[in-house]
Amino acid sequence: MVVSLTKDKFKDLILCAISSSIPVNLSANEIILTPDDSNGLRKTPVLKTDRIVTFKSASTVAVIGKINDENWSYFRVVFKSLVD
């Protein structure tokens, strides 16, 4: 999931990992996403807010969709808690 763009001239993507392998016990840093028309997900995945990577924008193959406002708000709360 794209979290942000880098603020440099490259505008690379800052991403959080998403996995279709959902653990039995979620950590405080994992969020279950429900597939819907806006996010384009085919299966229920887990979003791992503590698995961050930077990716070249030019290497993007496809855009699947966008998470809804409720999930985005919850993501922000969980993501911010990583630094507390």
**Which CATH number belongs to the domain containing residue 16 in this structure?**
2.30.30.110
Single out the residue of 66, 31, 73 nearest to residue 51, CA to CA: 31
The pLDDT value recorded for residue 10 is 93
pTM of the model: 0.86
List the domain range (segments joined by +) for residue 50. 2-81
- Report the number of distinct structural domains present in the chain: 1
58-78 pLDDT tens trace:
899 989 999 999 999 999 999
6-63 pLDDT tens trace:
999 999 999 999 999 999 999 999 999 999 999 999 999 999 999 999 999 989 998 9
CA distance readout (Å), 67 to 3, 10, 24, 38, 40: 11, 24, 23, 7, 9
Given a contact cutoff of 8 angstroms between Cβ atoms, the answer to whether 45 and 21 are in contact is no
CA distance 42 to 23: 18
